[in-house]
Structure 1
Amino acid sequence: MNENYNISSSPHIRDKVTSSNIMLMVTIALLPATIFGVYNFGLSALINIVLTTATAVLSEYVYEKLMHKPVTIRDFSAVVTGLLLALNLPPTLPYWMGPLGAVFAIIVVKQLFGGLGQNFMNPALGARCFLLISFTGKMTYFVYDGVTGATPLAELKAGQSVNTMDMLLGTIRGTIGETSVIAIMIGAIFLLLMGIIDLRIPGTYLLTFVIFITIFGGHGFDPQYITAHLCGGGIMLGAWFMATDYVTSPITKKGQIVYGICLGLLTGLFRLFGGSAEGVSYAIIFSNLLVPLIERVTLPKPFGKGGEK
């Protein structure tokens, strides 16, 4: 035998796609929701987006410089975190709150646990929940077209009728990036076509949620009621852009199915029986905490190690 074989550690199969490529694609996919949010809510939305995203990048840069770590802002992960957080904020939020949340997301949730790939929950959602608990009044104050009021999802929970077409288009009260399902789905389709995500997690999530509200929502299989729930709140933004986060979701195919089921059940539980009309953020964070257990249960056994006799 004249061939020479190189012995090396895993991984043995490599791909040219890098973390920065993936994060850049996610940033591009978020642009339709971002642009519509600015169009829908005006200058205050734009200022919140710019300040929050810039603070996320700056926080990562300063922390890594102070800790004498390699600067990783070029991988776009801080941009994605800041942008996702901004899209989950009310457009009327005081301009200092978004940056405060960005610092919490980058420093507390991400960097203190080791940086990209080590955080145990989605940093943007962790920061949103931090702001929601700390400043509940400001985080639940919504204005659209000069009119203050509850979101359509809150009105739906209160038994009021809602306009599902307005919810689909996004001309409603809500956070900057969650209102337009059409804009969100344009970005989601882009990620699917680029192979960044697949249907396993979001598909299982949304299907489980629909089954749950059909059984326990008190309306049976009512298409208008189901559509309103799917178009209202952050379920679409969460399902396609946050539940699919590589770091905080399972790596096994079976685990992703179990993860999606957990997301659907928890979101339905929080929405129908909780005190808030929403529930996506908490559902994703709780499911993030279950990921190590899910992976432990669904991880394939190596050949010859504990397999069936």
Structure 2
Amino acid sequence: MVQFTPVAGPHTHGGTSTTDLMYLVIAALLPASLFGVYLFGINALIVLLTCCCGAMVFEYLGLKLLGRSSHCAMDGSALLTGLLLGLSLPPSTPWWIALSGVFFAIIVGKTVFGGLGQNPFNPAMLGRVMLLICFPVELTNWQHPTPPTMTDGGLAMNNHWLNSNIDGSSAATPLSQLAGDVSQSLPSFSELSLGQHAGSLGETSALLILLGGLFLLWRGIIHWRIPVALLLGLAIPAAISHLIAPESFGSATSHVLSGGAMLAAFFIATDMVTSPTSAKGQLLFGAGCGLLIWLIRSFGSYPEGVAFAVLIMNATTPVIDHYLRPTVFGQAKRFPL
């Protein structure tokens, strides 16, 4: 009998650390984030800075409570959570409400479960849902984009862009219009693609979010299964219902390009901690997210359903992983005779 004492697992390192992954995802989100600030002004910048800085502070406090090194606060996970939460909020959100959401996301959604890698639910979406339930008026106060305009005298900044104390003109989002009278005029394809309509910061530009997602796919940080399955799970029922009753249901294009669908497909549902590990499980998870988003948007009380859909599917991840385990390497399947 051969005596063999293994000294390490039969694995190889890909060369990319958790910190590297987090900051690459943050870099992929920066173009859409900066474009959101360009569209909505100083209010949007305050929301993003409050969420990101607050997330770092609460992560530091959470690590102290867990008795761990405070250096882990710089691994990028808290910063990414804060950025995702900020991108899911209206640009006019008061700073103290944004800070409350970050506290709930980091302390309740992450630290309570033991920290990074042990949270069953996406922390940013937990914070988003908590704020929506507690502050429904502030979380549904949407504004028209007020980007700087080019004049003969140069680049002109309007008062709504510069002054955080001035409330912008309220506006309906494309999802609000879909939940109401679908027959009314919706933003054009280019406006939906570039985010030139009322909405959260994460709705600023479906095109820029898509480019960021393609960057993550190119770097191998995420896999295509969840994004494609989510978008198809949303688009297919939307297309069928729109074909049957176009006066009551929005088109697949309007659903995919509106709200946080693109952000969820590439940056939220693909969270490695809260999504399944098997290939079949990821396809089922993504499709479930997309279908739930459409159901909530079409029949629920909220015009947007991304956060609720992701959290519901997060709860099913252990079950999906249990029943859709990949075949053990070297194990042959037995077929009945």
Q: TM-score, normalised by structure 2?
A: 0.85
Tell me whether 1:150 sits opposite 2:172 in the alignment.
yes
Match of 1:258 in 2: 284
Match of 1:98 in 2: 98
Partners in 1 of 2:62 and 2:46 — Cα distance? 24
Deviation at 1:114, TM superposition (A): 0.9
Amino acid at match of 1:285: L
Greater mean deviation of Cα atoms: 10-19 or 237-246? 10-19
Q: Percent identity?
A: 41
- CA gap of 1:48–1:11, structure 2 versus 1, over 3 A, is farther
Deviation at 1:307, TM superposition (A): 3.8
Matched position secondary structure for 2:118: coil
| CA deviation string 1:158-202 (max 9, x = no partner) | 122202221111111001122311121121121111111121101
Where in structure 1 are there 5+ consecutive unaligned residues?
none
Where in structure 2 are there 5+ consecutive unaligned residues?
147-167
Partners in 2 of 1:63 and 1:231 — Cα distance? 36
Alignment equivalent of 1:162, drawn from 151, 172, 186: 186
- CA gap of 1:301–1:150, structure 2 versus 1, over 3 A, is same
Is the 8 Å Cα contact of residues 263 and 287 (structure 1) preserved in structure 2?
A: yes
Q: TM-score, normalised by structure 1?
A: 0.93
Partners in 2 of 1:42 and 1:232 — Cα distance? 21
Match of 2:208 in 1: 183
Matched position secondary structure for 1:173: coil
Deviation at 1:58, TM superposition (A): 0.6
Tell me whether 1:67 sits opposite 2:66 in the alignment.
yes
CA RMSD of aligned residues (A): 2.1
Deviation at 1:9, TM superposition (A): 4.5
Amino acid at match of 1:7: P
1:127-276 to structure 2, matched below 5 A, reads 127-144=127-144, 145=146, 146-158=168-180, 159=182, 160-164=184-188, 165-217=190-242, 225-276=251-302
Amino acid at match of 1:260: G
Partners in 2 of 1:124 and 1:76 — Cα distance? 14
CA radius of gyration, larger in: 2
Deviation at 1:29, TM superposition (A): 0.4
Tell me whether 1:122 sits opposite 2:146 in the alignment.
no
Greater mean deviation of Cα atoms: 13-22 or 156-165? 156-165
Partners in 2 of 1:209 and 1:6 — Cα distance? 50
Partners in 2 of 1:206 and 1:43 — Cα distance? 32
- CA gap of 1:11–1:134, structure 2 versus 1, over 3 A, is farther
